[in-house]
Amino acid sequence: MTRIWPVAAAVAFGCIAAVTASSAVRPPITQAASGKVIRLARGEQAKLRLTNRWRWSDPRVSTKAVELTPVEYFVDPGFREWRIDARKNGRATIRSIGHPNCSTCGLSTRRFALTIVVG
């Protein structure tokens, strides 16, 4: 009985670790990622969030490697969100332009560009 307990504890710990690792969620992509390259496996999803401090144009995708789907909220969370679905192997660039959402705050226009490599 004393020999089985450590083995059972190790198996239980391994199961918990496996579930935790498999359910790891990728953090959302924000405008801080502009200019970067992100890799997604085919079939993988990610979230793109752009803050409401700017009025962002609808993001445009350069190829069909990824698909963007807007996410709508009943209550404004302070950002706009899109789901990125990695559809085909290849590269896609997502672009958007943000204009300040205020007149006297001193913010400047921002350009957002993110390259996604699917494969």
pLDDT tens digits, one per residue of 14-66: 555 444 445 578 899 999 999 999 999 999 999 999 999 999 999 999 999 99
Q: Decide if 62 contacts 115 (C-beta within 8 A).
A: no
Closest residue by Cα to residue 118 from 58, 50, 64? 64
> Domains in the chain, ordered, with CATH?
27-118 (2.60.40.2020)
Band of residue 10 on the pLDDT scale cut at 50, 70, 90: low
The mean pLDDT of the chain is 87
* CA 72/CA 11 separation, integer angstroms: 42
What's the confidence (pLDDT) of residue 18?
46
pLDDT of residue 95 exceeding 60, the answer is yes
Q: Is the pTM of this model over 0.75?
A: yes
Distances in Å between the alpha carbon of 54 and those of 27, 31, 71, 80, 101? 21, 11, 17, 10, 5
pLDDT of residue 87 exceeding 90, the answer is yes
